[in-house]
Structure 1
Amino acid sequence: MQIVLFLTALLVLALPLGAALAQDADRGAALYTEHCATCHGLDGRGDGPMAGVLMIKPVNLTELAAANGGSFPLERVVKRIDGRDPLVSHGSPMPVYGQFFGFDAEAALEGEVPTVQPVADLVAHLKEIQRAE
């Protein structure tokens, strides 16, 4: 039994940090559909059914990297989702699901930009839907 624990510990230590804190793009896609598609549209193009009533038109999420010189703006996206970089587009801060996506320093995952698991999963989905330039 001790040898199994030892080998498991070695395997975990050998993994890069990003692999240990895996993002789940499929879970992120489900979160996106539930929490974001109403404004940003099912395909992320900013054409959701609520887009027309917002003070600021929702951004086309498939063009985040293209609008940032081909590099996905990770920190800006994470902080916009978790509320550390708020956007008032409908009379209240974006996101309206702040309790779910809100930044919690105690629950934050370590990484390039500390965040909570639902945000990490959602960002993984957003990275997948980026259109090629």
Structure 2
Amino acid sequence: MRVTLPRCVVLTGVWLVSSLAVAQGRFDLGKRVYDNSCASCHGVAAKGDGPLTRYLVKPSPDLTLLARHNGEVFPRDRVAEVIDGRTSTEIGPHGSREMPIWGDVFRKDAGTAGVRGARQVERHAQQRVQALVDYLARLQEK
């Protein structure tokens, strides 16, 4: 890919602004992904009370209790698997796969965002999945 000077300046500016925001604690990719992708069903506080949960076959689970229901250990790998959706065949509380396969959604978003190349697209998707897992881990009730 050929990078022109104006494109390089824009990309550098975006990187600088996002780096400063992260350094100052203002940007949380996991929270942003959660708010944009999960809150409508699971609720703003991840308690399973989102506005769309009443339209689901089974109610959305309280995501703040995942560690409690797993011997006080947050099941990172399982949560990532469910979010990504490609390797998980059963979803437990979700019954059939009513929850979107977010890994596919994040890969499509990567293409829309101009990310090119299979490795880069996969990396983009996995960064979002892992940021979301990290965010959910921080929300666990003690």
TM range (shorter): 0.5 to 0.7
Other-structure match for 2:15: none
Contact 1:54 1:90 in 2 (8 A): no
Equivalenced residue count is 102
Other-structure match for 1:76: 78
4+ residue stretches of structure 1 with deviation over 4 A? 88-93
Q: Unaligned stretches of 5+ in structure 1? A: 1-23, 110-114
Equivalences for residues 52-131 of structure 1 within 5 A: 52-83=54-85, 84-86=87-89, 87=91, 89=94, 93-95=98-100, 97-101=102-106, 106=119, 107=122, 116-131=126-141
CA RMSD, Structure 1 to Structure 2 (Å): 2.9
Taking structure 2 as the reference length, what is the TM-score of the superposition? 0.61
The structure whose RCO (Cα within 8 Å, separation 6+) is larger is 1
Other-structure match for 2:16: none
Q: Unaligned stretches of 5+ in structure 2? A: 1-24, 108-117
Taking structure 1 as the reference length, what is the TM-score of the superposition? 0.65
Of residues 43, 46, 56, the one that matches 1:44 is: 46
* TM-aligned CA distance change 1:117 to 1:47, over 3 Å: same
C-alpha separation between the residues in 1 aligned to 2:96 and 2:70? 27
Q: Which letter does structure 1 place at the counterpart of 2:34?
A: Y
Q: Which letter does structure 2 place at the counterpart of 1:34?
A: N
